[in-house]
Amino acid sequence: MDLLDTLTAKGLRGETPTREEALAVLATTDDELLDVVAAAGRVRRRWFGRRVKLNYLVNLKSGLCPEDCSYCSQRLGSKAEILKYTWLKPGQAAEAAKAGVSGGAKRVCLVASGRGPTDRDIDRVTDTVAAIKEADPAVEICACLGLLSDNQAERLKAAGVDAYNHNLNTSEGTYGDITTTHTYADRVDTVQKAHGAGLSACSGLIAGMGESDEDLVDVVFALRELGSDSVPVNFLIPFEGTPLAKEWNLSPQRCLRILAMVRFVNPDTEVRIAGGREVHLRSMQPLGLHLANSIFLGDYLTSEGQAGQADLDMIRDGGFEIEGMGEGTLPRHRADIAADAAAGAGGGGGPCGGGHGQAAGAEAGTAAAPEAAGCGTGGGCGPCGGHGHGHAAETEAGAEGTEGTDEARTDLVRVRRRGAGTELAPNA
C-alpha cells in the first residue's frame, strides 16, 4: 500500500506526513487495519523500541468544578456520582503516589479539578511535590491544575515539577461546542506558559466527542506545532450525568486508526493511551501498545481502569518492557530540544514546533538528557470526557468502511471508589 510505505518512510526519518495522508489513515478499512498497525508500529519501535512508560494519576481535588467542559464528570452541573473531595494533604498524596511508583510508574501526574490554581494552590502542590520527592527523588512529576496565571509555571518549575499537562482536547473550530467557560486560545496560552517556564509540555486530545476526521487531524497537527513532548490520546468515557453520556462513537478499530494517525504525525513524541483505554479498545488494548509508548497504570481520575497487574501482564505478554526510572523516554534529538527549551526558559515560551525530522542517526532509547513527557488524565482536566456536535457524526456515517459505530458499553464505565480520597487501597 503506497500510503503506508510513504508514511513509514517519513516516520522512520522523523518527518511529519501531510494533512491528506493523516486523513487517509483514518479512512482505511478494517481489512487494512493490521497493515496500518504494523506500519505505525515500525515507527514506534524506531524511536521508542519496545519500551512502555507507565504513568500514575493522583487526583488531588475531585469534582465541584465551575467550568462546563461537556465531556467531564467533574463539570459544573455534572450528575455523575463521582468522588468529590477537596485538596488531599501532601502526605495523603505522597502515599497514593508511592503505590503507583511501587507498581512501576516513573511519572506521577498530580491533577486538580478547577479552572486554574490560586497561588495558595501552588503552595499546596509545592508541599506535595516535596513530600513525593522526599520518598523518591527520581520520580518525575507532572502537574495538571488547569489554566495558569503569570508566574505560576515558574513557581511549579522551582518546586521541582517536571512537566505540565493541559490538553487542547479538540480542534480550534469546534472547541466552543464543548466548553463555553474558557477558550481554545486560553488552553494554548497555558501550554505555552508551561513550556516557557521550562516545564515539559504534555498536551493531547479526546476522541469520540462526535468530531470529524478533519477535527482530529486539526488538533493533532496543532499539538505537533505546539511542541508537545507528550500527547495523551483520550477516548471519551461517556459518563452518565454529563451532556455526552450518549456519545458512543468509537469502536476498537477506530481507536487503533486514531492512535496510528497520532503516531505518524508525532513519530518521535511520546504518545500515551490515556482515559478510555479499557472502555473502547477492550480486548484490542495490546495492539495499542504497538502504536503508543506510554499508558497510565491502574485507575483514572474519576473512573476505574483494569487492575494494575493486568496492565503489567499485558505489557510483558506483548513482548514489551516497562521503561525504567533512569531511562530517557524521548529519543536523543527530541530530548535535546526539550532540554534546550528548558535552558532557555524564562522568556515568552512560544511554541517550539519545528525541530522535528532532523533525527537521522538518533537511536531509540538513547536519550541522556532529562526527558519530557506528560500527563493525561482520565476523567477531569485531561482524559475523559466527550461531546458530540452533529456535523461529525454525519460525516463519519457517510464514509464507507472508515467508521465503526460502537455499542454503548456502560457496563465498562466504573466510577472510581478506591485510592485517593477514599479509605481503600489504590489500584496500582
Widest Cα–Cα separation across the chain? 56
Indicate which single residue of 10, 46, 53, 75 sits in contact with ligand SF4 (rule: CB under 6 A).
75
Indicate which single residue of 25, 54, 58, 65 sits in contact with ligand SF4 (rule: CB under 6 A).
65
Backbone phi, then psi, for 140, in 5-degree steps? -85, 145
Q: Which is nearer to ligand SF4, 103 or 146 (CB)?
A: 146
Alpha helices of 49-113 — where are they, by DSSP H?
A: 90-102
d(C-alpha 258, C-alpha 140), whole Å: 27
Instruction: For residue 146, state whether it binds ligand SF4 (rule: CB under 6 A).
Output: yes
Residue 142 a catalytic site member: yes
Indicate which single residue of 4, 58, 67, 296 sits in contact with ligand SF4 (rule: CB under 6 A).
67
Nearest one of 330, 367, 368 to 352, comparing CA atoms: 330
Instruction: For residue 362, state whether it binds ligand SF4 (rule: CB under 6 A).
Output: no
Instruction: For residue 69, state whether it binds ligand SF4 (rule: CB under 6 A).
Output: yes
Indicate which single residue of 205, 381, 413, 428 sits in contact with ligand SF4 (rule: CB under 6 A).
381
Which residue among 44, 46, 72, 384 is the active-site one?
72
d(C-alpha 237, C-alpha 2), whole Å: 35
> What cell was used for 7?
508514511
d(C-alpha 172, C-alpha 47), whole Å: 29
Backbone phi, then psi, for 169, in 5-degree steps? 75, -55
Residue 375 a catalytic site member: no
Which residue among 144, 202, 255, 381 is the active-site one?
202
Q: Which of residues 112-141 bind ligand SF4 (CB under 6 A)?
A: 113, 115
Is position 352 annotated in a ligand binding site?
Answer: no
Which residues are CB-contacts of 221 (< 8 A; sequence separation ≥ 6)? 16, 19, 22, 265
d(C-alpha 108, C-alpha 140), whole Å: 6
Q: Which is nearer to ligand SF4, 67 or 121 (CB)?
A: 67
**Selected range binding ligand SF4 among 31-39, 66-74, 387-395, 416-424, rule: CB under 6 A:** 66-74
Pairing of strands 205-207, 200-202: unpaired
d(C-alpha 326, C-alpha 370), whole Å: 10
Q: Which is nearer to ligand SF4, 133 or 182 (CB)?
A: 182
Residue 65 Cβ, how far from ligand SF4 at the closest point, in Å? 3
**Selected range binding ligand SF4 among 68-76, 210-218, 252-260, 338-346, rule: CB under 6 A:** 68-76
Residue 404 Cβ, how far from ligand SF4 at the closest point, in Å? 27
Is position 142 annotated in a ligand binding site?
Answer: yes
Pairing of strands 294-296, 163-165: unpaired
Catalytic residues: 65, 69, 72, 109, 142, 202, 272
